Amino acid sequence: MTIFVLLAAVLGIIVNRGFEGVVENPIKGFYFAVVGFLIQLGIFSYDFAFSKYEYLSPYFYIISLILLFIFVLLNLNYHGMKIILIGFLLNFSAIIANGGYMPQYIDKLTIAGEFEKIELLKQYGHFYNGILGSNQTKLKPLTDIIAIGKPTFLSGVYSVGDLIIIAGLIVFIFEFTKKRKRGGTTHI
């Protein structure tokens, strides 16, 4: 997902001829996004994953998602954020329905070359924000079922919500880097 965001940022700056849009365009509640991502950085670290507090991961994960949700809601004046909201709600539904974890499947992780993650999921039943998917998985079509093996820089396992979020991020980055029209907004 990171490669898409970086590529969109570079292209947005090139197409929009600079950073002026970033300075001119308002963004609300940025601190919600920062705190949400910081929580995720913390719980998605090996130190936390193997600590005596790892059982709190789904709770911290849901808190981080709520903070990110607030950030998205505060910025719905951007079309990209409206798209992100759809993907976010799809992912959030799957995560809540499955006890605070996103179900992942061995066959999909194998295609993506995520062998270490497979071993950790087999050993512990869950790892970071993921659990092994099974016949009891709820909302399976919304879980991590889209596997990409090649090219390597795109490899991973994604949900439909992830792909919608990526599309929304690309639209948002182009909107956010676009210079404002006199007396208008930056909407595409």
C-alpha 69/C-alpha 32 separation (Å) is: 9
Our measurement of the distance from residue 118's CA atom to the centroid of its chain's CA atoms, rounded to an integer in Å, reads: 20
Q: Within the chain, which residues score under 70 in pLDDT?
A: 1, 182-188
Please tell me the pTM assigned to this model.
0.86
Quick one: pLDDT at residue 24? 84
Beta strands, E only, the chain:
102-104, 126-127, 130-132, 146-148, 156-158
Q: What is the pLDDT of residue 161?
A: 98
Supply the pLDDT for residue 10. Answer: 85
Domain spans, the chain:
2-177
pLDDT on residue 96: 94
For residue 102, the 8-state DSSP code is: E
Tell me what pLDDT residue 12 has.
80
The pLDDT of residue 187 is 54
The predicted pLDDT at position 35 comes to 98
At 182 the pLDDT is 61
